[in-house]
Amino acid sequence: MKDAYGFTLVEMAVVLVIVGLMLGGLMIPLTAQMDQSRVSEARKDLSEIKEALIGYAIANGRLPCPDTDGDGIENACGTTTSAESSQGNLPWVTLGIEGTDPWGRHYQYRVNDAFGAVGTPFSLSTVGTGTTTGILRICADYVCAATLAINVPAVIYSSGKNGAVQPPVGADELENTTDKTNAKFDRTFVSHEFASSGAANGEYDDILTWISPNILFNRMVAAGKLP
C-alpha cells in the first residue's frame, strides 16, 4: 500500500532504474560526440603541424629531426642518407606548436634523413633511395594494395584513442608502430578512415598525414629558397 506521504520504496527503486536507463542511453551518443570532436581537433592540429614544418624548412633549408628524449627539442637525425629515416616525437618546442594530441600523447614524426640532416640542405632532386626506410610511403592497407604516396619527406600522426596499445591491434594500425624492434617498423605507413575491431584488418583509429615532396618543393621555390 502506498504511503500517503510519498512513494513506496519499490516505486522509488523503479524510478531510479528508469532514470539510470535514460542517463545510460544519453551517455553513448555523448561519448561518440566527444570522440568525433577529438578526431576533428587532431586533424586540425596535423594541418597546423604541416604548415609549421614547411615554414621551418623555408627558414632552415631542411625539415627538423625528431625529438627522441622527450623535451620537445629536435635531436640529430640518425644519418644524412636518403636511404634511412629517423623516428620520434614531433619536436614541438622547436616548431613552437602544440605537441600532444587530444588524448594526451605526443604526436609521432618520421622524417627521411636526407630532408632533415643538419648542414645538408635538401634540393629539388632529393628523394628516397634504396629499399629501406628512407623511401617513406603511405598505403591504404598493410599489404599496400593501393599506394597513396611515395618518396614522402615526413609523416606525422596520432595513434588515436586506443594509443595503438589496446589489443587487438589491427594489421593496418600495426604498420604505424613506434616500436623499432617490431618487424612492422619499416618504410610503410597506412592511412584510412576509422575501422572497428571487427574489420577485416582489425581496429584502426590512427590519424595520419604527410608532407608531399611536390608541395614542399613548390613552397620552397615560391619563397626563393630553391633551387
From first to last of its 227 residues, what are the pLDDT tens digits of the chain?
A: 445 555 677 777 777 777 776 666 655 666 777 888 899 999 999 999 999 999 999 999 999 999 999 999 999 998 888 889 999 999 999 999 989 999 999 999 999 999 998 877 898 888 877 666 678 999 999 999 999 999 999 999 999 998 866 555 789 999 999 988 888 999 999 999 999 888 999 999 999 999 999 999 999 999 999 88
The CA R_g of the chain, rounded to the nearest whole Å, is 23
pLDDT of residue 147: 92
DSSP string, 136-196: EEEESSTT-SSEEEEEESEEEEE-TTTTTTSSPPPHHHHTT---TTSTT-SSEEE--S-B-
Q: Is residue 53 part of a domain?
A: yes
Give the torsion through C-alpha atoms of 146, 151, 156, 161, to 10 deg.
20
Residue 72: the pLDDT is 97
Domain count, the chain: 1
pLDDT number for residue 132: 64
Instruction: Indicate whether 217 belongs to any domain.
Output: yes
Strands 108-112 vs 154-158: parallel, antiparallel or unpaired: antiparallel
**Does residue 25 form part of some domain?**
yes
Is residue 139 included in any domain, yes or no? yes
4 within some domain: no
Is pTM beyond 0.85? Reply is no
Q: Label residues 13-42 b or e (16+ Cβ within 10 Å = b).
A: eeeeeeeeeeeeeeeeeeeeeebeebbebb
The dihedral over CA atoms of 195, 199, 107, 178, expressed in degrees to the nearest 10, equals -170
Residue 3 belongs to some domain of the structure: no
Domain containing residue 103:
9-222
Is residue 182 in a domain? Answer: yes
Rounded to 5 degrees, φ, ψ at 18 are -60, -45
**Whether 207 contacts 42, CB under 8 Å:** yes
State how far the Cα of 50 lies from the Cα of 154, in Å rounded to an integer: 9
**Beta-bridge partners for 222:** none
Please report the pLDDT score of residue 36 as a whole number: 85
Residue 34: its pLDDT value, please? Answer: 83
Within a domain: residue 227?
no
